[in-house]
Structure 1
Amino acid sequence: MKLAVIGFGNAGGKITDKLVWYQQAADRDLIRSAISVNSARVDLARLEHLPRENQILIGQTDDRVKGHGAGADPDLGAEITERDRHEIDRALDMVPMYEIDAFLVVAGLGGGTGSGGAPRIAEQINDRYDEPVYGLGVLPSKDEGGRTVLNAARSFQSFADATTNLILFDNDVWRGSGDSVEAGYERTNEEIARRIITLLGAGEIDSSNISEHAMDSSDIRRTLSGGGVSTIAYAESKEVIDSGGLLSSLRSNGTKPLDDPDWATKVNGLVRQAVQSRMTCPAEIDSAERSLIVLSGPPEALSRKGLESGRRWLEQQTDSVEVLSGDDPRPGAGSLAAVVLLANVTDVPPIDALQELGVKAKENIEAQRERREEQFEELVTDDDDALDPV
């Protein structure tokens, strides 16, 4: 699937930067255009793989912003996005529309520019172009504070409505206990890039072999159609690169048939492992409307029987016949990966918790505002109200 990627805000820009890096490192070719939009000049300066001409600074003429960010205010982020829409439109005019299959708008939902601006730009792209607009939204950690949680709860509703489908990533699930803040974000951004590139890179036409059962971008589009939110499961086995490992033993007398029972079992187990391990955002499997399995790795390791067995198992788990599967041959790949897209999930515990915490945060903020107004009034007024202000 060929993409035009728009990263909004600090987190969105960093993830877009990482997507570009990972695509190059994995020898993929699916991102046809990538831009980063931010209201903070310093955040744009930290990007390493997006060229300067693909970085858009908005809000420069607003006295509240002036290149220093939206101050975790999503309403301000939405406002400056609307005001500087012409700047973004100029960048979108450079997207080679005849080469792309979809847009991907990426944002962290807890800040100001991304949480407010990403839903607006997704809505504008939807109105202007025929291609689907997918979102990638990062939920903040609950430890980041009530204001951040409230921003995310509000932004989630707008972002989900504005996109063809919203893929979620929950920071709380992926943050390592021993990570520094910077190292934690770096690691999670790489995990996001690995899953997105492996999933959406399936079926791309490049130097790879095209197998009889190759995944196609139309399969991905079908799975992500119909609105809603989605999560991605992933598992990887590096056993194939061991000199004495399983794949080398299969090749002892030339390449052994792909439907060898041992290898089929390995592939089926990898699909199950993916779904039963960490998803990008925890969700109940049986609440998925549609699912898609992509098996990516050395052509010799892509067992058709193993993939079909994994697909039947997923149909049973989701109680749905809307399960597509295919492979993504990567000659020379050092590992075998199974990525499972669970689309249009409706039972997502982190979203339920986010909305509950968001309501509480809103109530607390309003109560604090009222209390401070009363305290300020007491501060500036004498006890007997005997003084007349100048």
Structure 2
Amino acid sequence: MKLALIGVGGAGSRLTDAIRSVEAEGDRQLCYGNVLTVDISRTVADEFDHVPKDRHVTIGDTHPDVDDGVAGDQDLAVEIARTDAPEIHRALDSITMRKLDGVLVVTSLGGGTGSGVSAVLVERLQEMYDKPVYVLGILPATDDGGRAARNAARSLRSVVPAADSTLLFDNDRWVDTDESDESDDADGTGGRYDRPNRELASRIVTLFARGDTDPESIGANTLDSSDTIRTLSPGGVASVGYAEIELEDGGGLLSWLLSLLPGDRSDGEADERTDAGKIQSLVQQSLNSRLTLPCEVSSAERVLVVLSGPPEELSRRGFESARQRLEEETETVEVLAGDDPRAGSSTVAAVVLLSNVTGVPRIDAMQRRAVDYEHDGEAVQSLEETD
């Protein structure tokens, strides 16, 4: 699938750079150079390794209330995004949308810039293009405070209905709160976010990116962009699971499997059955691993599973068995599955996309905290007015 990448705010821009880094290291393409970052600041202090400077759009630099960002003020970010819409539109003209399948807006929903500008940007993109607009949104960690929770809750109310689907990443499950870094801030721009950004970037590239088709590596059930679009078409929020195993040098997955088996291993049917069992286990592990958004798996409306690795290591029997298992666990027959052959790869990976999930305790807790924050603010204002 070919997607334009648009990173919004400090955290969204850094995650976009991480996605481009993972893309550059492999043999799969996602954005084909169609990348932008949008931020609010008088000075552009960020230096990215994989997003060129001419692809960074600065807005709000002439606004009287802006010094270095908006300091978490979501309403100010919305105002700036609407005022500087012509500047954003000019930057969007550099994207060759006719060659792409859609757009992925990458943002932190807890930061002022990310939550405010993204809501306006998604609306504009939907007006400009007739292709899917997806959002990759980062939920704030609990220790980011009540204001971040309020920003995220308000942003979800506007972004989720406007986007074709919103993939969420829960910082609470991935960021080590005990790990400190002097460069950390509430918008997810510190050292402790580097590993989670890398983990999420790997999942996004494995899920969406594809390489040029090698006739010798065509899979029996290779996915195309329409499969992903169909899976995400119900809208709502989505979660991603992932698991991978390293192949041993000289033998691959099958040799490693056989080394674990007792007795005679000369029976080809037994070998295949073992290989199929391992693939089924890998897919199951991707579902049971840390999802980007913890949720009730059975609440998913549609599911997509992608298996990538060397073609000779991808067991069709194991894959079909895993898909049947997913249908049982997710309680839906809307399970699409396909392989992504990668000749010469040293790993076999499985990624599972759960679309339009509804059993999400983390969102409920965040919304409650947002309400408490609003009530506390109203109480303080009332006390000040009576003094």
Taking structure 1 as the reference length, the TM-score comes to: 0.90
The alpha carbon displacement at 1:339 in A equals 0.3
| Matched letter for residue 115 of structure 1 | S
Question: Cα distance 1:264–1:112, how it changes in 2: closer, same or farther (>3 A)?
Answer: same
User: Size of the alignment, in residue pairs?
Assistant: 370
The alpha carbon displacement at 1:366 in A equals 1.6
Question: Cα distance 1:259–1:230, how it changes in 2: closer, same or farther (>3 A)?
Answer: farther
Q: Is the 8 A contact 2:323 2:335 kept in 1?
A: yes
Secondary structure of the residue that 2:212 maps to in structure 1? coil
Question: Cα distance 1:94–1:291, how it changes in 2: closer, same or farther (>3 A)?
Answer: same
Question: Cα distance 1:207–1:22, how it changes in 2: closer, same or farther (>3 A)?
Answer: farther
Question: Cα distance 1:213–1:177, how it changes in 2: closer, same or farther (>3 A)?
Answer: same
The alpha carbon displacement at 1:205 in A equals 3.0
**Corresponding residue for residue 95 of structure 1:** 95
Q: CA separation in 2, counterparts of 1:4 and 1:104? A: 6
Q: Does 2:321 correspond to 1:309? A: yes
For 1:208-219, list aligned pairs within 5 A: 209-219=217-227
Q: CA separation in 2, counterparts of 1:325 and 1:257? A: 24
Q: Is the 8 A contact 1:242 1:248 kept in 2?
A: no
After superposition, what is the alpha-carbon deviation per residue over 1:107-139, rounded to whole angstroms, capped at 9, x for unaligned? 101111110010110111001101100001100
Q: Is the 8 A contact 1:258 1:300 kept in 2?
A: no
**Corresponding residue for residue 284 of structure 1:** 296
- Stretches of 4+ aligned residues off by more than 6 angstroms: 250-253, 256-259
User: Which of structures 1 and 2 has the bigger CA Rg?
Assistant: 1
For structure 2, the residue ranges without an aligned partner over 5 or more in a row are: 185-189, 260-264
Question: Cα distance 1:357–1:177, how it changes in 2: closer, same or farther (>3 A)?
Answer: closer
The alpha carbon displacement at 1:372 in A equals 3.4
Q: Does 2:370 correspond to 1:358? A: yes
Secondary structure of the residue that 2:319 maps to in structure 1? helix
**Corresponding residue for residue 37 of structure 2:** 36
Identity %: 46
Q: Is the 8 A contact 1:39 1:70 kept in 2?
A: yes
Q: CA separation in 2, counterparts of 1:189 and 1:152? A: 18
Q: CA separation in 1, counterparts of 2:257 and 2:196? A: 35
- Once the two structures are overlaid, the 10-residue window that deviates more, 167-176 or 45-54, is 45-54
| Matched letter for residue 56 of structure 1 | V
Question: Cα distance 1:17–1:44, how it changes in 2: closer, same or farther (>3 A)?
Answer: farther
**Corresponding residue for residue 3 of structure 2:** 3
The alpha carbon displacement at 1:371 in A equals 2.3
After superposition, what is the alpha-carbon deviation per residue over 1:78-134, rounded to whole angstroms, capped at 9, x for unaligned? 111111111111111111122100100111011111100101101110011011000
**Corresponding residue for residue 108 of structure 2:** 108
Secondary structure of the residue that 2:130 maps to in structure 1? coil
Secondary structure of the residue that 1:131 maps to in structure 2? coil
**Corresponding residue for residue 50 of structure 1:** 51
Q: CA separation in 2, counterparts of 1:351 and 1:14? A: 24
After superposition, what is the alpha-carbon deviation per residue over 1:325-384, rounded to whole angstroms, capped at 9, x for unaligned? 000011111111110000011111111111111111111112122223444xxxxxxxxx
Q: Does 2:127 correspond to 1:127? A: yes
For structure 1, the residue ranges without an aligned partner over 5 or more in a row are: 376-390
After superposition, what is the alpha-carbon deviation per residue over 1:293-331, rounded to whole angstroms, capped at 9, x for unaligned? 000111111111111111000100111110000000111
Q: CA separation in 2, counterparts of 1:48 and 1:311? A: 38
Secondary structure of the residue that 2:233 maps to in structure 1? coil
Q: Does 2:148 correspond to 1:140? A: no
Secondary structure of the residue that 1:57 maps to in structure 2? strand
| Matched letter for residue 279 of structure 1 | L
| Matched letter for residue 221 of structure 1 | I
Q: Is the 8 A contact 1:58 1:81 kept in 2?
A: yes
Q: CA separation in 1, counterparts of 2:366 and 2:135? A: 18
Q: CA separation in 2, counterparts of 1:371 and 1:92? A: 47
Q: Does 2:348 correspond to 1:349? A: no
**Corresponding residue for residue 205 of structure 1:** 212
Taking structure 2 as the reference length, the TM-score comes to: 0.91
| Matched letter for residue 226 of structure 2 | S
RMSD: 2.2
- Once the two structures are overlaid, the 10-residue window that deviates more, 220-229 or 43-52, is 43-52
| Matched letter for residue 137 of structure 2 | G
**Corresponding residue for residue 224 of structure 1:** 232
Q: Is the 8 A contact 2:42 2:62 kept in 1?
A: no
